[in-house]
Structure 1
Amino acid sequence: MRTKLPTSAQPGDDVVVTLHGALATAGVFRPLKRVIEAQERVWVASLTLNPALAIEDAAIRLGDLVAELPPGVNCHLIGHSLGGIIVRWYVQQVLPAGPEAPTVVQTFSLGAPFGGASVAKWIPLRQGRDLVAQSALLSELARGADRSAIPHCSFVGEDDRTGKGDGLSDIGDRIVVPDCGHNGLLFHPLVGSEVVSRILQSRQGDAAPSEPC
């Protein structure tokens, strides 16, 4: 696991933790990172995971990174594809409770196949098995969605054909990005502007997001 942490973040700042999808690295988030870090007191942390890690183990590694963030920051998690599933597994199954727990404000997913991935058979080892439609892991994730207090926003590419499900139906918002495929979500200006908007809204305690599509 390779990590990059924002060492200059101060208490009250916002830190966005990015998590890539299968067979990728943290570098896929560079375009979105530039948009996010153009905002005052908003930082990006990232990690690159071993592709052989099971989703549950990857969520634990994500938790290790979150625990290393500077104290007092507000954490926002965003995952592309498989990374979106890992992010939600972390907040629903791994994130500790109590006053010492990290402050996770919200989560975002870009093209996360919560209903299963049509390309699951091409993804190696256990990750691929867990991304089959109605797998035990995806079923557990869906059952626990409405019990989570951490809000979620799913971005869905209108032309994305990799997934069999386009969001967590029981929580959060679903935003369809027009004329956009699976990887295009990483570059689309609508995604960047909406993520930034929701981060800035959270500073004011504003729970009213932009109108979902």
Structure 2
Amino acid sequence: MRSRTVITEIAAAGALLGSYPLDWVVRRGEPYFCEPSSEPVILLHGFGGSRANLLALGAYIRLAGFDNVSYFEYPRWQTLADSAAQLGRIAAEKSGGDGVHLIGHSLGGTVARRYAAGAPKRVVRSLVTLGSPYSYGQWSPTEVGIFGDDDPIVPAPIEELTNRAAFARIVTLHNVGHLALVFHPEALRIIGTELRANRAAESKAAA
């Protein structure tokens, strides 16, 4: 890894560790005191993580105009199929006919992709993954995959080798590792753009 990437990864790791006590404070303030106005956005953490790791991302998404943010947590050693099925039950419960937006970091993105591949039509409005394990032959034609070019855990795909239906779009960020993807300004900008482009018609009118 480049020295610049190492520094940003260390900073990102520190921010993720610092999020755990903050999550305890946030949980004490739940549930919301007003009815959310936007369709649901579900955030999925990576292997061994928790919702605490995505609190900053959740705060950004709320600032972008989506106030119905929730977190999908799954046991560390649960199978991918079981996690996807569990996510499906939660998505069905929350969608309310407007569908859901899914944003996953690392393994969380793979879980989201697995569910989205078999989800009923129009249930998944957006699918954005951040440094998520993939296969070159996968079928995920609506997915925006964001990767770091200096990620030692999940290397960015070589687009020339990737099946045309594997992603809707691949974005590779320079001098970025694995953990820092969650905080990278360009990754946040892309997420905000995707959410706004795919939001429900009623929400667009309100915005």
TM-score by shorter chain over 0.5 = yes
Q: CA deviation at 1:190?
A: 1.0
Query: Quick one: which amino acid aligns to residue 188 of structure 2?
Result: G
**CA–CA distance in 2 between the matches of 1:69 and 1:203?**
15
Deviations, residues 73-101 of structure 1 (Å, cap 9, x unaligned): 341101111111111110113x235xxxx
The share of aligned pairs that are identical, in percent, is 24
The 5 A counterparts of 1:1-213 are 8-10=35-37, 13-69=38-94, 71-93=96-118, 95-96=119-120, 103-115=123-135, 142-145=137-140, 151-164=142-155, 166=157, 169=163, 170=165, 171-203=167-199
Query: Quick one: which amino acid aligns to residue 110 of structure 1?
Result: L
- Judge conservation of contact 2:147–2:156 (CA < 8 Å) in 1: no
Q: CA deviation at 1:70?
A: 5.3
Q: SS at the partner of 2:198? A: helix
Q: SS at the partner of 1:14? A: coil
Q: SS at the partner of 1:40? A: coil
Query: Quick one: which amino acid aligns to residue 49 of structure 2?
Result: A
Q: SS at the partner of 1:162? A: coil
**Count of aligned residue pairs for this structure pair:** 167
Q: CA deviation at 1:59?
A: 0.2
More helix by share: 2
5+ residue gaps, structure 1 = 116-138, 206-213
**CA–CA distance in 2 between the matches of 1:72 and 1:198?**
19
**CA–CA distance in 2 between the matches of 1:65 and 1:204?**
19
- Judge conservation of contact 1:158–1:176 (CA < 8 Å) in 2: yes
**CA–CA distance in 2 between the matches of 1:5 and 1:49?**
20
Q: SS at the partner of 1:160? A: coil
What stretches of structure 1 move > 6 A for 4+ residues in a row?
Answer: 3-7
5+ residue gaps, structure 2 = 1-26, 202-207
- Judge conservation of contact 2:149–2:155 (CA < 8 Å) in 1: no
Coordinate RMSD, CA, aligned: 2.7
**CA–CA distance in 1 between the matches of 2:48 and 2:78?**
11
Query: Quick one: which amino acid aligns to residue 147 of structure 2?
Result: V
